[in-house]
Structure 1
């Protein structure tokens, strides 16, 4: 028996629901207040509910799945293709209803609250790192206006700031010197907040089996391991490691017509943050590995360094999927063999 299909456009206070009755063809399109959204589905037979992967969608997906419904979260790009005419809530809900029934649309994983909490820590850490960089660059820019230029790097900034402020204290107002000293002190506070988040992520890694498993892969550290497990959700949702790597944007894009296909650079689709961590991890392996693998040595002879880095990041992503999907431990000497 086929399930009914619903398209839901999630908003802050009012949700738009679109559905077509499979027997009569009757179209239902109506608004539902936030407080009555779950009540609308609580007594219904199990159905397929499609939503766009946006703010709050993970929460509603978990609640609907607890009621026995099947929920499919879709990226906005997949939904946009089905929006016809003017864009409004009614058109968006209809587009979601159409997109959720397409077999080729790759759904976004519905994450547990624990996985989403880990991703929240990553987002807050990323924001603090950005604030720290902005603060440091702001100090350098202000001091340059008074003829003080420092070497590149945070360590050089910390070494020079005391002497710089002492020299400028005779020329500039005390209110500016005190403010510059306070802004410099803020960098240490940001360091402490970032370190505290990393300690919490480290504690989660030690108690999570999946994180400990993939942390054994060269180039996969604390941030990459925790972000990969939380972002992926269920590894078995992907058919293969290649699909997971392509989902992260590490596979080549392609263009072509008339049977001729031309491969481009990496597509850069998917999660930018996790893809960046994997590429940085691969670059660290290539830079610091004392005994690079035979695969790395062979590909390094044929390809430029950046291509080798992305290729290794792709291989790391496939290894992560293989370990989690098949519940295996990392083995450095393992050789993958296709079944006969």
Structure 2
């Protein structure tokens, strides 16, 4: 079996041809271009192509699928990819290690989305970049007026009804004198702001047309509190809902599961891993906070998680964001719309208190309520007894008078006794 492992670079890439039968290998350096990659595949007999997940891996994977070559795009976040103790690290060494790990089947393959989904992800990311640039220019204009003591409208009114007041201070840079150069700077900033705003509107119109034609986006938007931007980002990230095995799988893919450290009797859970798309996590968290005003299921879930504690509200918000993502994935997988009645009934059943508080307290004292629920029953929170107040502290040592100074202990001398 001939394995071709590629260590991809921005300009040059190294290919390692590894023969699994004879354990022999050779290297070849090519340019990271379509013509050079096609020539490499044409001039060699290859059974398996292995590469790392990076920028060029998308179009190289498309070339491999066109040639019907078996391809593995591996994740660089895997533990097998951590080569921290190597004394020498070169492109050839990386390509050779990649081929050896592919022979031992020690690589974790990742999902490579279609070119349409990759373009959609790129335009969504570019829209976020445009939004950041527009906000930065607006903040710079506000700072220019504030440093000169000129008042403008607050909020969005400054760029709608208050735009005429801002435009009254602009002037082309070639007409500015030495004392009002800031007006020329304002004119340049407003030109950039208008161009970016026009470009943002065109991108939004194109994404709206794409959302209308996509059934998954329309289905996810039926969740109260989930808008178009969150839905299209979530659908573009999940892509194929059937590639995830369970809810925990999609949660770990988004980086919203806690880190775990286990050794012997120690089993400790930490913060979320944050190994998935950062932009989607931030959008899901904003969606979770917004859904508390429109979604009754979100209110019940949020209340059940934080349990009235003010220190757990942020954790409950992150947990609610994860649950929204899981519900959206299940709706995409089953091709069903939002059904609030079933989710609200389940949330009320999970958060319902015990029928008798005295019986629950007695069970908690005797320990008779430690068994897990059977036959698929829903687990209910335990009613623990209130802690007893601390008693008096007893000590057998005699009390020392307050006026008596405390004697410091004498240090024993390390000198040896003198000889007489």
TM-score higher than 0.5:
yes
Q: CA offset at residue 271 of structure 1?
A: 0.8
Q: Which residue of 1 aligns with 2:146?
A: 144
Q: Which residue of 2 aligns with 1:113?
A: 115
Q: CA offset at residue 66 of structure 1?
A: 2.4
Q: Which residue of 1 aligns with 2:92?
A: 90
Q: TM-score, normalised by structure 1?
A: 0.84
Pairs within 5 Å for 1:214-253: 214-253=220-259
Deviations 1:106-153 (A, max 9, x none): 533211111111112112111111111211222233333323466763
Q: Which residue of 2 aligns with 1:301?
A: 307
Q: Which residue of 2 aligns with 1:81?
A: 82
RMSD, aligned α-carbons: 3.3
Question: What secondary structure, in the 3-state scheme, does the structure 2 residue paired with 1:7 have?
Answer: strand
- 2:192 aligned to which of 183, 186, 190: 186
Deviations 1:175-221 (A, max 9, x none): 43143134135334322322221221111111122222222223432
Mark the structure with the bigger radius of gyration. Answer: 2
Q: Which residue of 2 aligns with 1:20?
A: 18
Residue 136 of structure 2 corresponds to residue 134 of structure 1: yes
Which one has a larger percent helix, Structure 1 or Structure 2? 1
User: Which stretch has the larger CA shift, 89-98 or 289-298?
Assistant: 289-298
Q: Which residue of 2 aligns with 1:254?
A: 260
Q: Which residue of 1 aligns with 2:61?
A: 61
Q: Alpha carbons of 1:247 and 1:292: their partners in 2 closer, same or farther (altered >3 Å)?
A: closer
Q: Which residue of 2 aligns with 1:7?
A: 5
User: Which stretch has the larger CA shift, 55-64 or 174-183?
Assistant: 174-183
Could you tell me which runs of 5 or more consecutive residues in structure 2 were left unpaired when the two chains were aligned: 347-373, 377-420
Q: Which residue of 2 aligns with 1:330?
A: 338
Residue 279 of structure 2 corresponds to residue 273 of structure 1: yes
Q: Which residue of 2 aligns with 1:213?
A: 219
**Could you tell me whether the CA contact under 8 Å between 2:145 and 2:151 is conserved in 1?**
yes
Q: CA offset at residue 285 of structure 1?
A: 0.3
Question: What secondary structure, in the 3-state scheme, does the structure 2 residue paired with 1:76 have?
Answer: coil
Q: Alpha carbons of 1:96 and 1:129: their partners in 2 closer, same or farther (altered >3 Å)?
A: farther
Higher relative contact order (CA 8 A, sep 6+): 1
Q: TM-score, normalised by structure 2?
A: 0.69
Could you tell me which runs of 5 or more consecutive residues in structure 1 were left unpaired when the two chains were aligned: none
Q: CA offset at residue 59 of structure 1?
A: 0.8
Q: Alpha carbons of 1:90 and 1:293: their partners in 2 closer, same or farther (altered >3 Å)?
A: same
Q: Tell me the distance in 2 between the aligned counterparts of 1:213 and 1:112.
A: 21
Q: Alpha carbons of 1:223 and 1:108: their partners in 2 closer, same or farther (altered >3 Å)?
A: farther
User: Which stretch has the larger CA shift, 279-288 or 36-45?
Assistant: 36-45
Question: What secondary structure, in the 3-state scheme, does the structure 2 residue paired with 1:73 have?
Answer: strand
